[in-house]
Structure 1
Amino acid sequence: MTQSRHLSVHIDRPSSEVYAFASDPRNLPRWAPGLGSAVEPDGDAWFVETSQGRVGLTFAPQNDYGVLDHVVRTPSGDTVYVPLRAIADGDGCEVVFTLRPTPGMTDAELDRDTALVTADLALLKQVVEAL
């Protein structure tokens, strides 16, 4: 089985600001546009319209530790746990996304997802540093 990949970006903003921005699902289209553009709340969950259909998202409760973990429920009913952290790094912040391969995922698919997540993290950096 292919191992998880830990992808990170350093953002020149305090971790509290990065966390506040990234923990608000309404900001997803600004930094993770591939996930979808229409984010709608539904109780404790959120839904995003994607090219594959309606995707459910449930985020970790607000916390002081920078935990941005979330669960993605795909249109096919699969559930994917996504570890994501905003970690204080001096006056800045390191955001770490753990990309976990799904069963049967090929190396090429994992490489594709790695490139997509890396692009999203770069966009997060750009957007938050411009705030």
Structure 2
Amino acid sequence: MAANASRPLSPHLQVYRPQITSVLSISHRITGVALSVGTVLLVWWLVAAATGPAAFDDAQEFIGSWFGLLLMFGWTFCFWYHFCNGIRHLVWDTGYGLELPQVYLGGYIVVGASIGLTLLTWIVALIAW
């Protein structure tokens, strides 16, 4: 029994090479956390708008800075990635797309759609601005 005590209880990240399936799964969790944190920035902006012109100007100045825009760009990507990957999971829940080639194709579609939708969102926002 003592010889088995040093064995790992489950596979560890250091044992396996990263694959698209594991990277996308971890990324889905990370983007979920990033969306939660980024939503605090959005709430701050909305509360500042309701508070008054001085608070709103401060929020606008931060969000309009290069760092604020970088955060918003990242938040937009996280939103679209989490959205597209969530749809992929809903498709899996119906029993479709579970074969390995379909899983890989779906993963590449999620990444491509996330990048495309992020760029489209910002292009439309810049045109409207």
The answer to which structure has the higher strand fraction is 1
Greater Cα radius of gyration, structure 1 or 2 = 2
Higher relative contact order (CA 8 A, sep 6+): 1
The answer to which structure has the higher helix fraction is 2
TM-score (norm 1): 0.31
